[in-house]
Each structure stands twice: as C-alpha cells, then as structure tokens.
Amino acid sequence: MNTSSIWLDDKDIEILRLLQSNGRLTHAAIGKAVGLTGPSVYARVQRLEQAGVIRGYVAALDPAKIGQGFVAFIRVSTSAVPARKGDDAFEKFVHREPCILECYSVDGEDIYLLKVRTDSPRGLQDLLNRLRAIKNVSRTVTTIALEVVKEAGPTGPIDGKALRTSVRLAGKSGG
C-alpha cells in the first residue's frame, strides 16, 4: 500500500461517499451524481485505489443471516514479556480466527481489545476457551452486546472537513 499523502478535493470525497454507500455504482452513475464524466470518475477512482485510500470492495452481509448475530467485545491482558515477544502466538491466533473481526493494541488496563461475532453464547464460550489456552493470555473480560444500535462496517462515514485537515497537502490532482 502506498503511504504517501494524496490531495482529496470535494469531488473525491463525494465519490468516496457514493462508493461507500454502494460499491457497485458505475462510473457513469457516479459521474452524473458529482458532475463529472464516467472516464474522469474512473481516473479518480484508479488514483484513489493506487494511493491506498480505497483498499478494496466488499459485500455488506447481514450477520444474523450468516450465523454471526451474537456480538461481544473482549478485553485481553497478556503476561509481562519483554518487548511483547510473547504476543506473537496471540496475534497469530487473532489473524487466523474468523470470528475475531477487529483487534486493537490498546493503552490502559488491558493490552488488546477484540470485537467478535459468533453464532451464540456457546460459540463465544468456545472462543474464550481457545483464547485463554494461549500461553501468555493472563486475563479476559467480556462485554456482550444486547443490541447493535449503530455499526458502520469497514469504516465510518466520511467527514470531508476532518479528512481534509488530516491529510498533508501533497499537491492537487485534476479530474
């Protein structure tokens, strides 16, 4: 992935919003919505993909309909190991475990925060048993979600103002 900065103008941000709401929109449809031609939108989308702003395209699935309707958050503490060398086994487990959707290394009382989806409380218990069997996992604390009030998916909605202020100005690109 290219980590260099990219200038995003209002058209780029609107294209990203449209793609985020419906990744199957044609370049012509996007162009009509933002006042550009289809080829111009294609060029902008290519630039955004090459710069790593668009990492890929996914289908949004209904978790309940695919057996993942049970949501929980697990705080994980690991035993004190110099330079986190012992966390390799934990992180390898996280990468290969499909019901772990997100894993964050955090500061504070815990070392990691996981977002998981399983089919049931029993599925969560099975996951916790496997987690606790990892040698350097010393503690887990689980919070079960009773209801999903808002779940944004792969990323949250795009805030153009915040995005523009957080991106280094590397130069404008036309389209």
Angle at CA of residue 75, ends 121 and 144, nearest 5°: 30
CA distance 137 to 79: 6
Does residue 175 lie in a domain region? no
Quick one: average pLDDT of 119-137?
Answer: 95
Write out pLDDT tens, residues 24-47. 999 999 999 999 999 999 999 999
What is the per-residue pLDDT for 152? Answer: 73
Which residues on neighbouring strands pair with residue 141, listed in sequence order? 75
Q: Does residue 161 lie in a domain region?
A: no
- Whether residues 53 and 70 share a domain: the answer is no
Share above pLDDT 70 across residues of the chain, in percent, rounded to a whole number: 80
Domain that holds residue 67: 63-144
pLDDT digits (tens, 9 = 90+) for 138-148: 999 999 999 99
Prediction pTM value: 0.73
Do 68 and 139 share a domain, yes or no?
A: yes
Whole-angstrom distance, CA of residue 14 vs CA of residue 34: 7
95 belongs to a structural domain: yes
- 124 and 79 inside one domain: yes
Residues 50 and 70 in one domain: no
Q: How far apart are CA 52 and CA 16, in angstroms?
A: 12
67 and 97 both lie in a single domain: yes
How many distinct structural domains can be found in the chain?
A: 2
Instruction: Based on the fold, state whether residues 39 and 77 are members of the same structural domain.
Output: no
CB 41 within 8 A of CB 108: no
Q: What is the pLDDT of residue 43?
A: 97
Average pLDDT over residues 2-21: 84
The model's pLDDT over 55-84, given as tens digits with 9 standing for 90+, comes to 998 888 888 888 899 999 999 999 866 555
Stretch (H or E) spanning 96? helix 87-96
Task: Tell me if 170 is assigned to some domain.
Answer: no
The answer on 73 and 114 residing in a single domain is yes
How many whole angstroms separate alpha carbon 60 and alpha carbon 16?
16
Residue 52 sits in the same domain as residue 78: no
Q: Is 98 a domain residue?
A: yes
pLDDT at 90: 92
86 and 125, same domain (yes or no): yes
Q: Is the dihedral of CA 135, 136, 138, 140 positive or negative?
A: negative
Q: What is the pLDDT of residues 74-113, one digit of tens each?
A: 999 998 665 556 568 899 999 999 999 999 999 999 999 9
Q: Would you place residue 21 in the very low, low, confident or very high pLDDT band (cuts 50, 70, 90)?
A: confident
115 CB burial (10 A radius; 0-12, 13-18, 19+) = middle
Q: Rounded to an integer, what distance in angstroms lies between the CA atom of residue 94 and that of residue 90?
A: 6
Looking at the fold, whether 119 and 81 belong to one and the same domain comes out as yes
The whole-angstrom separation of Cα 72 and Cα 48 is 33
Shared domain check, 140 and 67: yes
